[in-house]
Amino acid sequence: MPLPVAHSMIGASVAAAVYPKTYGWWKLLCISAFLGVLPDFDYALNWLRVGRGGWHHGFTHSIVFALFVGAVTNLVTGWRSVRAFIAFSAATASHTLVDYLITESRGVSLWWPFTDHRYKLRGPNPIDYTWSTTSFWDAAVDVLQISLTELIIFGPVLLVVIVLRSMSSRKGKMLHGMDD
Ligand SMILES: [Zn+2]
């Protein structure tokens, strides 16, 4: 079960890959990082004891929800373009797909609302997500360690995408400059 560090970095990486570097790009990446974590807010529904519970990995972990979030974010923020819609939707969907790939739960509701069936691939998990349950502090140290491992794995991925994007936008600007 990836933690917010991995999900936010993957969300931002996906958006950076989809959306060319233009004015406000960093803001778009920050929003996408948040969208990468958003599906896990279904925990709140469990904590608030909404309905019969069991919300986690439910409707918020579906492709339809990702498209919905992409559309709403497009409307609420100033981007309003097909590419921004794709970037926001893909950032949200990245969360669902990562969970689908490695979750050890009964799976995610990938195709909600068409079916409530839970899907999972049980792919190889690069990180050991077990943490101590003996005390709060032991658990906190374990979670911190896992978060650092995620940072070491997914930080460079985000960095590479950002560098590649920056290079291609500089090249574009140079070509554009030659046109003028
Ligand atoms: Zn999740």
Q: What letters, b where the CB count within 10 A reaches 16 and e where it falls short, cover 32-58?
A: bbbbbbbbbebeebeeeeeeeeebbbb
Beta partners for 119?
Answer: 108
pTM for the whole thing? Answer: 0.90
pLDDT value for 180: 44
Taking Cα atoms as reference points, which of 36, 31, 38, 12 lies closest to residue 79? Answer: 31
Kindly give, in sequence order, each residue whose CB lies less than 8 Å from that of residue 47, ignoring residues fewer than 6 positions away: none
Cα of 19 from ligand 1 centre, angstroms: 24
pLDDT value for 60: 96
- Are 68 and 96 in contact by the 8 Å Cβ rule? The answer is no
C-alpha neighbours within 13 Å on the C-beta side of residue 54: 7
Taking Cα atoms as reference points, which of 71, 65, 143, 56 lies closest to residue 107? Answer: 56
Cα of 134 from ligand 1 centre, angstroms: 24
pLDDT value for 10: 97
**Token pair belonging to 8:** 């936010």
Cα of 100 from ligand 1 centre, angstroms: 9
Cα of 170 from ligand 1 centre, angstroms: 36
Cα of 61 from ligand 1 centre, angstroms: 7
Cα of 22 from ligand 1 centre, angstroms: 30
pLDDT under 70: residue ranges of the chain: 175-180
Q: Domain ranges for the chain, please list them.
A: 4-179
Strand, helix or coil at 180?
Answer: coil
Q: How many angstroms separate the CA atoms of 124 and 94, rounded?
A: 17
pLDDT value for 177: 60
Kindly give, in sequence order, each residue whose CB lies less than 8 Å from that of residue 91, ignoring residues fewer than 6 positions away: 11, 12, 14, 15, 32, 33, 35, 36
pLDDT value for 123: 84
Q: How many angstroms separate the CA atoms of 94 and 97, rounded?
A: 5
pLDDT value for 118: 95
Cα of 90 from ligand 1 centre, angstroms: 15
Kindly give, in sequence order, each residue whose CB lies less than 8 Å from that of residue 16, ignoring residues fewer than 6 positions away: 25, 29, 32, 158, 161, 162, 165
pLDDT value for 6: 96
Beta partners for 108?
Answer: 119
